[in-house]
Amino acid sequence: MKIAVLPGDGIGTEIVAEAVKVLRALDLRFEMETAPVGGAAYEAQGHPLPEATLQLARQADAILFGAVGDWKYDKLERQLRPEQAILGLRKHLGLFANFRPAICYEQLTHASSLKPELVAGLDILIIRELTGDIYFGQPRGRRQAPDGHFPGAEEAFDTMRYTRPEIERIAHVAFQAARKRSRRVTSVDKANVLETFQLWKDVVTEVGKRYPDVALDHIYVDNAAMQLVKAPKKFDVVVTGNMFGDILSDEAAMLTGSIGMLPSASLNAGNQGLYEPSHGSAPDIAGQGVANPLATILSAAMMLRYSLNQPEAADRIESAVQHVLAQGLRTADIWSQGTTKVGTRQMGDAVVAAITSTK
Ligand code: NAI
Ligand code: MG
């Protein structure tokens, strides 16, 4: 098993170091090789996704990714910006299925912005299609409006597009994921007004007939946004397109307390995957040793489960994380009165200790 380790920028290096420590503590046999990505790669080699880094990612069974970006690169032309590295990896590796679990750990129930009773026991999985939709649809551009309310005025346009095979493959991913959970899929669309999402709804419905053991329902995206803060526990697996998934997964993330707790996985058709925390490089706290490494450590657990076929090892990491939370250890982002504030490294050490003690 080969893992490509791409720490990136800002807190990326700090949090990935802790996840690597945790992986080593499992005593499994894998090879880990590190390469620069994002701003770090731009500084060293003049490009955010150097060919050698891409090669390493291609050859690996899985990629552990930290975060990229910093305000100081904002003036660079778009192709050289650190964020292009993550878009490039998604594109080159065909990572079309983005898994974002939103789990509210018992010990963090009070860290959520919602009432504790609404989030206690929350465990939902948002599956976002990652390579289609309005972010990539052509044509797009700017021009003088040929018609409409203001003919001749400057206008900009994007195109929302999905093909049947793109919808089919993400639907299969969702139904299969639901089979390992409570066998319920909610498909989020806007079929009432968008042709793209009428096709989406039709195709998901057809695919669903092949999973008679999984219950399927459909909900419009505006109602989904409302239900997520009204009664989030009503959901189990949620599947949706790229843009709706972008927005709803950030909304769901906040139900759990801190973005520093949220892992993610992006998979391709071969179950190769890129695993990263849902947050960015947090330049405001980088270098201070205070970032929460748990999202990255939990991403490593997802990597073991989805790409490396080591579900027991994944369970061990997740139990260890719950154990350190139960011990009252908290990084600053999840700290509350009566708990013990620890730094990035101490948190990683505590997870390692919890793993080692259960060997
Ligand atoms: P961010 O997620 O980096 O930070 C948002 C806020 O959350 C900040 O106050 C930060 O301190 C806090 N935070 C984030 N992760 C944390 C952690 N592990 N522990 C404790 N606190 C944490 O988002 P922001 O500030 O919008 O973007 C910063 C940079 O990251 C930008 O350059 C952006 O483009 C990039 N970015 C990269 C992503 C990626 O690599 N996949 C994803 C999102 C943003
Ligand atoms: Mg987003």
pLDDT of residue 60: 97
Q: In a mutational test of the pocket of ligand 1, which residue from 259, 298, 299, 333 has the highest number of ligand atoms less than 8 Å from its CB? A: 259
Same domain, 143 and 91: no
Give the range among 78-82, 95-99, 199-203 with minimum mean pLDDT: 78-82
11 Cα–ligand 1 center, Å: 9
Which numbered atom of ligand 1 lies nearest the CA of 83?
A: 34
Alpha helix segments (H runs only) across the chain: 11-25, 39-45, 51-59, 83-93, 116-119, 164-179, 195-208, 221-230, 242-255, 294-306, 311-326, 344-357
123, 135, 158, 233: the catalytic one is 135
The residue among 169, 180, 239, 240 whose CA lies nearest residue 207 is: 169
Bridge partners (DSSP) of residue 219 are 188
What is the number of other CB atoms lying within 10 angstroms of the CB of residue 173?
A: 20
pLDDT of residue 104: 92
Q: Which two tokens stand for residue 69?
A: 């970006």
- Averaged over 128-145, what is the pLDDT? 94
Same domain, 157 and 196: yes
What is the pTM assigned to this prediction? 0.92
Q: Judge whether 236 counts as a catalytic residue.
A: no
Q: Is 246 annotated as a binding residue?
A: yes
User: Is it the case that residue 113 has pLDDT exceeding 70?
Assistant: yes
- Per-residue model confidence as pLDDT tens digits over 189-200: 999 999 999 999
Q: Is 70 annotated as a binding residue?
A: no
Same domain, 89 and 176: no
Same domain, 61 and 141: no
Q: Judge whether 190 counts as a catalytic residue.
A: yes
User: Is it the case that residue 247 has pLDDT exceeding 90?
Assistant: yes
Q: Please state the domain count of the chain.
A: 2
d(CA 8, CA 36): 6
Q: Is residue 92 part of a domain?
A: yes
Q: Which two tokens stand for residue 334?
A: 């999840």
pLDDT of residue 358: 75
Q: Is residue 241 part of a domain?
A: yes
Q: Is residue 118 part of a domain?
A: no
Same domain, 231 and 268: no
Please provide the average confidence, as pLDDT, over all residues in the chain: 95
Domain residues for the domain of 328 are 1-99+263-359
pLDDT of residue 254: 84
248 Cα–ligand 2 center, Å: 9
246 Cα–ligand 2 center, Å: 5
Which numbered atom of ligand 1 lies nearest the CA of 296?
A: 18
- Averaged over 288-298, what is the pLDDT? 98
Q: Judge whether 209 counts as a catalytic residue.
A: no
| Domain end call among 238, 255, 272 | 255
Q: Judge whether 222 counts as a catalytic residue.
A: yes
| Domain end call among 223, 239, 255 | 255
Q: Is residue 324 part of a domain?
A: yes
Task: For residue 154, give Cα distances in angstroms to 135, 149, 219.
Answer: 21, 12, 35
d(CA 63, CA 57): 6
d(CA 304, CA 265): 11
Q: Is residue 289 part of a domain?
A: yes
Ligand 1 binding pocket includes 253 (Cβ within 6 Å): no
Ligand 1 binding pocket includes 291 (Cβ within 6 Å): yes
- Averaged over 337-348, what is the pLDDT? 96
Q: Which two tokens stand for residue 8?
A: 């990136």
251 Cα–ligand 2 center, Å: 10
Label each residue of 74-125 as H, E or C. Answer: CCCCHHHCCHHHHHHHHHHHCCCEEEEEEECCHHHHHHCCCCHHHHCCCEEE
| Domain end call among 227, 255, 283 | 255
User: Is it the case that residue 266 has pLDDT exceeding 70?
Assistant: yes
Under the banding of pLDDT at 50, 70 and 90, the label for residue 257 is: confident
Same domain, 134 and 222: yes
Ligand 1 binding pocket includes 74 (Cβ within 6 Å): no
Q: Is 140 annotated as a binding residue?
A: no
179 Cα–ligand 1 center, Å: 33
C-beta of residue 191 within 8 angstroms of C-beta of residue 121: no
* CATH code where residue 158 lies: 3.40.718.10
Q: ipTM of this predicted complex?
A: 0.97
Q: Judge whether 27 counts as a catalytic residue.
A: no
Ligand 1 binding pocket includes 68 (Cβ within 6 Å): yes
- Per-residue model confidence as pLDDT tens digits over 161-194: 999 999 999 999 999 999 999 999 999 999 999 9
Q: Is residue 111 part of a domain?
A: no
User: Is it the case that residue 359 has pLDDT exceeding 70?
Assistant: no
Q: Is 19 annotated as a binding residue?
A: no
